[in-house]
Amino acid sequence: MKPILLYDTTLRDGTQGENINFSVDDKIAVAKRLDRFGIHYIEGGWPGSNPRDKLFFERVKPIPFQHAKLAAFGATRRPGISPEDDQNLEAVLESGTPVVTIFGKSWTLHVEEVMENTLKENLAMIRDTMAYLKAKGREVVYDAEHFFDGYKDDPDYAIETLLAAAEGGAESIVLCDTNGGTLPHEIEAVVRRVNGRLAENHGFTAGGRSIVLGIHTHNDCGLAVANTLAAVRAGATMVQGTINGYGERCGNADLITLIPIIALKLNRPCIPPENLIYLKRISQIISETANIIPLNSRPFVGKSAFAHKGGIHVSAIMKTPKAYEHIDPELVGNSRRVLVSDLSGKSNIEYKARELGIELGGNGYDSRKIVSRIKDLEQNGYQFDAAEGSFRILVQKLTDQFHPPFELESFRVTIEKNGDEPCNAHATIKISVGGKQEITAAEGDGPVSALDNALRKALQTFFPEINSMHLVDFKVRVIDGREGTASKVRVLIDSGDQDHIWSTIGVSKDIIEASWKALEDSFQYKLSAVKTSDTHGV
């Protein structure tokens, strides 16, 4: 079976997504990463549309790409002028990329009502543009915009636009579901017909002379991945998409989901097989660069993709993982996670204890008793599947294996408000470390910030390694709002250092106390992990 060519448009179509904005440096870093990963085509942007994309192409010119071909994006020539006089096409050529991707209109609605053009001139625009760029020595990819909607309205004309691109010299023709409203069975049927018409009319095949037939889908019906796979089944061999599915409206086809399906489920070559283990890392890097929180439920690479909560499930995967996992998570750079909650059985506790290097049975506590204690705490608002740091400390306490690096004796927090000025928070804290007391005070932007600063100040004398620890996220949730301001709150804190991130939890009717519990666990986890790293591999 023919390999699948991966065409990434994260740096162009992906940036049209809401709240996604890459700097030129970001785009260069992403392009380098995608090249190393094994993507075949990287669409860098539209140099004729904005200064940033133009600057990107100028700065990326001297950079050697080992695997990918860089593509510049643009439109067919404007009506009534020659390609040589079109400034948009001139900007595309000046980008210096080996590949040029040009979109044109396939839908009579767009040609006649939106562009106010004629159907004949639209065909000439497509044909002329392809021929002009081919004569300039470029590999040309033609994106047939709105193809599936156009095909539904006037299939003969939609096919004519493709034939015009083929006659002009396009090496690749990509069918675009631009509005994202087509269904998988429709996609598959249309792609099969198109493949047949191209071969029948001009002897071109999707892999013969070799016009490559491609697919570009949007996710407005939640079907972008399914539609792409339907097109592949029907003969498409170029797959366009974005990392993490970023893109306009509901996004584009997600290459992070498509790549393992193509490689592992369809057994079609796409990226180098040895690079598949970097899939999760690629997803995370692009998320960080885009400043978008990673989606825990993202297939294959999400934090929850191989997470098991129900006790029966955990019992089964301890015997044979394939009982509840469709692939080995390590194939895509992910890992199995066993969650602990009020749905847990003793299998969850035993698995998790082994994972964390905790021996069970101490202090008369076995896995069943720990499960019972966790269920009691979760009934009162705790949520240990989201706070594995606090879970570790709890189990160590229950089994007499926890030796606190410090103990709180007292703290006091005051809030001061003067006129229109922002509030000031002051915290005084007294802790004990190995029998030695330490009293410190600190200010902060809020009560939790002040407590955090005071605790750090007190601990730094004893534990200089605390300086590598930082706050990643802080979340407050009202557990049950029926009691109004007297309701219990749950505070979740994510903390991190240079090696990893851990989560801790606190619950109370007092938000300061709940915050302190989560904060204390976070510092206790960090310091106890340092002490036990040689034996538990933390």
Structure tokens at 175: 């069918």
Per-residue pLDDT at 533: 40
In the chain, pLDDT over 90 holds for what percent of residues?
Answer: 62
**If you average pLDDT over residues 120-128, what whole number do you get?**
97
Pairing of strands 212-217, 172-177: parallel
Which tops the pLDDT comparison, 50 or 173? 173
Buried b / exposed e over 44-67, threshold 16 CB at 10 Å, is: bbbbbeeebbbebbeebeeeebee
Question: pLDDT grade, residue 310 (50/70/90)?
Answer: low
Per-residue pLDDT at 304: 83
Mean pLDDT check: name the lowest of 117-121, 341-345, 518-522: 341-345
At 245-261, the pLDDT tens digits run 999 999 999 999 999 99
Q: Which domains does the chain have, with CATH numbers?
A: 43-238 (3.20.20.70), 307-397 (no CATH), 406-462 (3.30.160.740)
Q: Answer whether residue 323 shows pLDDT above 90.
A: no
Per-residue pLDDT at 39: 98
Per-residue pLDDT at 207: 41
Per-residue pLDDT at 208: 45
Measured CA to CA, the distance from residue 109 to residue 253 in angstroms comes to 25
Per-residue pLDDT at 311: 62
Q: Answer whether residue 224 shows pLDDT above 90.
A: yes
Measured CA to CA, the distance from residue 102 to residue 142 in angstroms comes to 5
**If you average pLDDT over residues 75-100, what whole number do you get?**
96
Per-residue pLDDT at 325: 84
Per-residue pLDDT at 87: 94
Q: Answer whether residue 209 shows pLDDT above 70.
A: no
At 510-520, the pLDDT tens digits run 999 999 999 99
Q: Answer whether residue 390 shows pLDDT above 50.
A: yes
Question: pLDDT grade, residue 477 (50/70/90)?
Answer: confident
Phi first, then psi, for residue 498 (nearest 5°) are -70, -15
Pairing of strands 307-308, 69-75: unpaired
Per-residue pLDDT at 523: 94
Which tops the pLDDT comparison, 395 or 83? 83
Which tops the pLDDT comparison, 531 or 460? 460
**Ramachandran quadrant class, 220 (left: phi over 0; alpha: psi -120 to 50; beta: rest):** alpha
**If you average pLDDT over residues 285-309, what whole number do you get?**
86
**If you average pLDDT over residues 119-132, what whole number do you get?**
97
Q: Answer whether residue 535 shows pLDDT above 70.
A: no
Q: Edge-to-edge strand order for the sheet containing 436-444? A: 407-416, 424-433, 436-444
Per-residue pLDDT at 538: 26
At 53-63, the pLDDT tens digits run 999 999 999 99
Cα–Cα nearest to 176, from 144, 199, 154, 130: 144
Determine the straight-line distance between the first and last CA of the chain, rounded to whole angstroms. Answer: 45
- CB within 8 Å of 205: residues ≥ 6 apart: 195, 198, 199, 211
Which tops the pLDDT comparison, 199 or 418? 418
Q: Answer whether residue 387 shows pLDDT above 90.
A: no
Going by the DSSP 8-state scheme, the letter that residue 103 receives in this structure is E
Question: pLDDT grade, residue 486 (50/70/90)?
Answer: low
Q: Answer whether residue 335 shows pLDDT above 90.
A: no
Q: Answer whether residue 265 shows pLDDT above 90.
A: yes
Q: Answer whether residue 530 shows pLDDT above 60.
A: no
What is the average pLDDT value for the chain, to the nearest integer?
Answer: 88
Structure tokens at 237: 């061999």
Question: pLDDT grade, residue 191 (50/70/90)?
Answer: very high
In the chain, pLDDT over 70 holds for what percent of residues?
Answer: 90
Is pTM beyond 0.95? Reply is no
Q: Answer whether residue 428 shows pLDDT above 90.
A: yes
* 3-class state of residue 305 by DSSP: coil
Per DSSP, the residues of 114-132 read IS---HHHHHHHHHHHHHH
Farthest CA pair distance, the chain: 89
At 454-475, the pLDDT tens digits run 999 999 889 998 888 888 888 8
Q: Answer whether residue 128 shows pLDDT above 90.
A: yes
**If you average pLDDT over residues 388-407, what whole number do you get?**
86
Phi first, then psi, for residue 406 (nearest 5°) are -150, 160
Q: Answer whether residue 294 shows pLDDT above 60.
A: yes
Per-residue pLDDT at 391: 84
Name residue, tokens 């825990």: 296
Task: Give bridge partners of residue 41 from the DSSP assignment.
Answer: 7, 69
Q: Answer whether residue 289 shows pLDDT above 60.
A: yes
